[in-house]
Structure 1
Amino acid sequence: AVVVVEHVVLALSKRKPPHSPTTIRQAAREVARPVLFAVSIIMLVYVPILTLQGIEGKMFRPMAITVLLALGASVVLALTLMPAASTFLFAKVELKERETWLMRQARRVYEPLLDRALGHPAIPIGLAMLLVVGAGLVAPTLGAEFVPRLDEGAIAMHAMRLPSVSLEESVAATTRVEQVLLERFPDEVRTVVSRTGRPEIATDPMGVELSDIYVLLHPPDQWTRASSKEELVAQLGEVLEAEVPGQAYAFSQPIEMRTNELLEGVRADVAILIYGDDLAELARAGDVVSRVLGSVEGAEDVLVDQVEGLPFLNVIVDRTSISRYGVDARDVTGAVSSIAGHPVGTVFEGQRRFALQVRLPESSRSDVEAIRRIPIALPNGGTVPLGELATVEEDEGPASVGREAVRRRLTIQVNVRGRDVAGFVSEAQERIRDEVDLPDGYFIEWGGQFENLQEATERLAIAVPVVLLLIFVLLYLTYGAARPAALVYLNVPIAATGGVFALAARGMPFSISAAVGFIALFGIAVLNGVVLVSTIRDLQKEGGTLAEATSRAARARLRPILMTALTDALGFLPMAVSTSAGAEVQRPLATVVIGGLVTCTLLTLFVLPAVYARLGGAVTSRDSLPGLEPQPQA
């Protein structure tokens, strides 16, 4: 719409009112093709976001679809509504092209600097190269994570005890945890709710040795013991380890924990999956790996699946003895079932029904000798002790057996605090590779958020270059030569440097959210270059030399280029400084775009004219797109 209206105003400013609809229609037609071309570039840039899958796709695909639909609608309105509205509003108005005071001041500063850049091109080119090299050195230090962590205003704790613990002991421990948190953190903790164990359904079995504890928090401005959530979590861990020992704790957030569990089967940021056949060997390998992980900077809440230590009572029927006494094996197993509870009937209370079970008293259930003395009825009368018909002994067995892809699996979970996930995993992989020896047939895989980051990065690594290549093809078809298309592409790395420096300045790691920001930035960067190069080539066709055309085009396109940068930056500014719910995902995206706009605009105004004045070459027989202007985005 800005492109069409500005071109219409420019055409009408050369005529006296009343203005003919034919003049307005002709002006709109002149920019119809450039508008379609510009929108095509921006729409192509957003295509890689549509390739995202999983949680990142759920988060960002709706945004990309919305932008694509909005761009499509904007083209229709720009080429239909804007000319019609101009015919109605400008028919009897005398229009004159004037610059605002702010634009005049910007031109006073810009034009002398442009002359210096054109006279000494080595200076802007050298500065641009320094920016690219500097960004290349800074980028590896940013680190990487999947998506920024959202603050849910609550903490989800996971408490793990020995597999042999009873339900009563687990309930007492969680009750003590609730009391300690409410007493020691009255200004931070509002409510504590705990849940111990879970029915053994296929999706999420959990024994009585495991508890989920949900800690609802007061608003952060009421906290007195901590200034951030990370600091509060650290203090919670220290207090609980001192006052409620004998348990292992892991900290997360309610929605985050469940999302990780549903997507990856783990509750932590990173999961190390060890595959093998022998449970004892898996347990040994898990202990070694967990010790190595615990020594890596940033590792917190290291939890290893408890595959051993669950007490068992083994009752092995002696076939020879039961044959001698004439006892059926089912009689023996029926007596054994009375230890836990043997169903003998059903009790009805209205519509409700309850199983009626017979169970031995507590004193007999916990004493192996008493179990051996359980009488078993003989067919001809009399009884015989259970110990005469079966071997009864206590033993330890597996607490749980995890399987995947027809292999036994041990999972080690670890949360990462104080550093980026990608950097942590890279160091941990190197340490484990050097310090852990696994038996033949055993291997390690990495999962959790790191796996999601890898998959999303691999998809974007294919989709983004393909789209950039398609944009280059469009530019080549437009100019009929590779040189101007390549010079336009100078904007892409320079724009990326601004995004890198902006992330570094705000202490943000690279994430999928930041990647989406870079994708949006590339469209603006390419379009700004097209604006300037197309104008230069138009002036060359009118007979101007390369140097003259470059200087005139840079001055003429100062206003639309600055307008694009300012409107886009102002549009993303609320996202960059927002502190509301969900702002953690928006901030990296907006930070990248705003930082990239700064360097991209400087390149378009200074570096690109200096380079094009030397390397642009003559205009070919193909015409460049006339009148192309940038489209502000928000």
Structure 2
Amino acid sequence: DINNTLSTAWGSSYVNDFIDRGRVKKVYLQGTPESRMAPEDLDKWYVRNSSGEMVPFTAFAQSYWTYGSPRLERYNGFSAMEIQGSAAPGYSTGQAMDEMEKLVKQLPPGIAFEWTGISYEERLSGGQAPLLYALSLLVVFLCLAALYESWSVPAAVMMIVPLGVFGAAMAAFVANLSNDIYLQVGLLTTIGLASKNAILIVEFAIHKMDEGMGLVEAAIAAVRLRLRPIMMTSMAFICGVLPLAIASSAGSGAQNALGISVIGGTLASSIIVVVFVPLFFVLVRRVFPGKHAQAKQEQV
């Protein structure tokens, strides 16, 4: 009865409908405005007790001012408070989310948190990135193994990938970039370019070995033949993404992250490829001679 009286007097309660000049109108029961404007007006209201007597609210309740949130929100059926923010300069969203989780753990028992929106999607997909990278490298390795008909030669190409990624990571570190989706796209682009250059050198080295050259001579000849094309394509690619690296307009943060990481990775991979790919190729061929060495032994 107490709740019904308060909700009806201070709020409203639907009674029924009536027809007024052909239109259906609703009837609501509500206290007069002058009797429900201030907390002190609670003294004006009575409720019937179990004995049938009218008892004022002041006999069993009191009113006072307090403060609360202007918005009452619920999330998954629980009372909740929405917190929105962004990472400080020099920090990624993942680092900011990790710090928020540490702060929430310091709250009293009974208080929990859940991510929603873009943050929820980031947390959901964050653990999948290493698996996707590993799966991509596996697919590339299998394709190269089918191309060269060898399980060892693709290793010479795959060993150059970490060096290209190192160049992109160093460029991002020097430019104080955060590890966001744009930087990851730049890393993937760098991996593709480094692998492409390595494939060209390995391909020509294998052709030279088929023509009868020795292992070291074939690797050196392949580098000499592909040095100019590799440098030309790399410089052209760097010039193409340079506007992204130096952009300063609206939305330039994403452009800078992509351009700087790609330029750093391209420079590193272009210089490192011509030095380390022949070394890796010779090393792998000496450890796993393959069919070329077996064919020479049979001829002898």
TM-score tier after normalising by the smaller chain length = 0.7 to 0.9
**CA offsets per residue over residues 456-509 of structure 1, 9 Å max, x none?**
332222222112101101111222223321111122101101110111121111
Question: Structure 2: any 5+ residue segments left out of the alignment?
Answer: 48-52, 294-300
Higher relative contact order (CA 8 A, sep 6+): 1
- SS of corresponding position for 1:616: helix
- Change over 3 Å in CA distance of 1:538–1:588 after alignment to 2: same
- Change over 3 Å in CA distance of 1:533–1:367 after alignment to 2: closer
Aligned equivalent of 1:58: none
CA contact (8 A) 2:40 2:63 kept: no
CA contact (8 A) 1:372 1:385 kept: no
CA distance in 2, matches of 1:505, 1:354: 70
Aligned equivalent of 1:417: 88
Aligned equivalent of 1:528: 197
CA contact (8 A) 1:373 1:386 kept: no
1:554 to 223, 230, 248: 223
1:472 to 132, 135, 141: 141
- Change over 3 Å in CA distance of 1:392–1:316 after alignment to 2: farther
Give the structure with the larger strand fraction: 1
The AA in structure 2 aligned to 1:454 is R
Count of residue pairs brought into register by the alignment: 275
1:402 to 45, 64, 74: 74
Aligned equivalent of 2:36: 365
**CA offsets per residue over residues 38-94 of structure 1, 9 Å max, x none?**
xxxxxxxxxxxxxxxxxxxxxxxxxxxxxxxxxxxxxxxxxxxxxxxxxxxxxxxxx
**CA offsets per residue over residues 549-576 of structure 1, 9 Å max, x none?**
1221111111221122122222222222
CA distance in 1, matches of 2:247, 2:128: 29
Aligned equivalent of 2:212: 543
The AA in structure 2 aligned to 1:316 is I
CA distance in 2, matches of 1:367, 1:502: 65
Within 5 Å, which residues of 2 pair with 1:122-141? none
CA contact (8 A) 1:576 1:587 kept: yes
The AA in structure 2 aligned to 1:402 is R
CA contact (8 A) 1:513 1:588 kept: yes
CA contact (8 A) 2:90 2:177 kept: no
1:572 aligns with 2:241: yes
CA contact (8 A) 1:343 1:358 kept: no
CA distance in 2, matches of 1:560, 1:397: 72
CA distance in 2, matches of 1:544, 1:468: 31
Give the deviation of 1:445 after TM superposition: 3.9
Aligned equivalent of 1:602: 271
1:444 aligns with 2:112: yes
The AA in structure 2 aligned to 1:444 is A
- Change over 3 Å in CA distance of 1:373–1:454 after alignment to 2: closer
CA distance in 1, matches of 2:225, 2:185: 32
Aligned equivalent of 1:459: 128
CA RMSD of aligned residues (A): 3.9
Aligned equivalent of 1:217: none
TM-score w.r.t. the length of structure 2 is 0.74
Within 5 Å, which residues of 2 pair with 1:202-601? 316=2, 333=5, 337-340=8-11, 360-362=32-34, 364-367=35-38, 370-373=41-44, 387=56, 393-394=62-63, 400=72, 402-404=74-76, 408-411=78-81, 413=83, 415=85, 416-420=87-91, 421-430=93-102, 433=105, 436=106, 438-439=108-109, 442=110, 444-445=112-113, 447=115, 450-601=119-270
- SS of corresponding position for 1:402: strand
Aligned equivalent of 2:291: 620
**CA offsets per residue over residues 313-363 of structure 1, 9 Å max, x none?**
xx717xxxxxxxxxxxxxx84x963444678999x9xx9x9999965244x
- SS of corresponding position for 1:452: helix
CA distance in 2, matches of 1:621, 1:531: 19
- Change over 3 Å in CA distance of 1:577–1:487 after alignment to 2: same
Give the structure with the larger helix fraction: 2
CA distance in 1, matches of 2:84, 2:7: 41
